[in-house]
Amino acid sequence: MSPAYAVEALKLRRSRVVLVATLALVLLPAAMARAFLAAAERGGDNPADLKAAAVLPGVGWTGYLGGLVQIYATAGLLGVGIVVGWCFGREYADRTVVSLYASATPRDRIASAKLVLLTLWATAVGLTAVLVAGLLGLATGLGVPDDGDLRTAARLSVLAVLSGMLALPVAAAASVGRGYLPAVGGLLVLVVLAQMATVAGAGGWWPWSVPAVWAMGPEAGMPVVATGRLLLVPAVALAGAVGTVQWWRHAEVG
């Protein structure tokens, strides 16, 4: 493994931020979705039960996975975005970036290694979250999922992977803004804009909404989104990555 990858992998392995984010992304969305389903199936007339019933597209696996799609669309972007923002922003906030200058390992190679490793981590976490969600559903008595539920699970897996990619441009905000706060600010803007785009009917075009709208599908009242439009996601991820790497190559010490 090249020095940049080896060092960045070590930093990610030792990071408590990454550990907490991993646990949160793998466990919390599934637990929340299961809790929502339990509330919806209870059929009570209290606000929480009514809200859960209104949000979920059905009961059983359909409601559970449909709820999980909605939750992970935001949680994935937020959770991965926080780690991406930390990974880049900490170098500026802690001033360790200065030590990365005047080194035999170019800074753009370090930035590339961070982005590749974060993408791999986000993909692994997303797929693990789907697997854990499936096991939780089985363990809590949802029975055997049917073919339609398995198709939803497949779409959920794609969404989980794409949500991680959508967080990569946060690296550019952390780098140009030289710290955590610009990353957090940029991340919140992305989350809010994704919600606004979906509400405004532009969710089928706005890259940070497309995977969720596609994954929820017409069954949840969303417009039909051609699968090809998912290519918007790697496009914005690549644009963010290229911008970040270029910044790391050319930026002076601040």
Partner 1 sequence: MNALEVRGLGHQFDDLPVLRDVDLGVLPGEIHALIGFNGAGKSTLMRAALGMLRPRAGAVHLFGVRVGDADAAVWERVGHLIDTPFVYPELTVRENLWAAARLHGVPISEVSAAVDHVIAELELAPRASRRASTLSLGNRQRVGLASALVHRPRLLVLDEPTNALDPSGVVLLRGLLLDAVRAGAAALISSHHLDEVARIADRVTVIHAGAIVGELDPHGVDLERAFFAMVHAADRAARSPAATTTEDEVR
Beta carbons within 8 Å of 187's beta carbon, 6+ residues apart: 77, 78, 81, 82, 85, 167, 170, 173
Closest Cα to residue 25, out of 131, 116, 112, 149?
Answer: 131
**Among positions 3, 44, 143, 148, the unique one binding partner 1 when judged by CB under 8 A:** 3
Does 11 bind partner 1 (CB under 8 A)? Our answer is yes
**For partner 1, the closer CB: 4 or 52:** 4
Query: 86 or 206: whose CB is closer to partner 1?
Result: 86
**Looking at beta carbons only, is 68 or 97 nearer to partner 1?**
97
Residues 188 and 83 sit within 8 Å (Cβ to Cβ): no
Whose Cβ is closer to partner 1: residue 97's or residue 212's?
A: 97
Q: Supply the Cα-derived Rg of the chain in whole angstroms.
A: 19
Between 77 and 116, how does the x/- string for binding to partner 1 read (CB under 8 A)? -----------------xxx-xxxxxxxxx---x------
Query: Does residue 191 contact residue 176 with C-beta atoms inside 8 Å?
Result: no
Geometric angle at alpha carbon 20, from 14 and 22, rounded to 5°: 90
Q: Does 6 bind partner 1 (CB under 8 A)?
A: yes
Task: Give contact residues for partner 1 (rule: CB under 8 A).
Answer: 3-4, 6-7, 10-11, 14-16, 94-96, 98-106, 110, 252-253
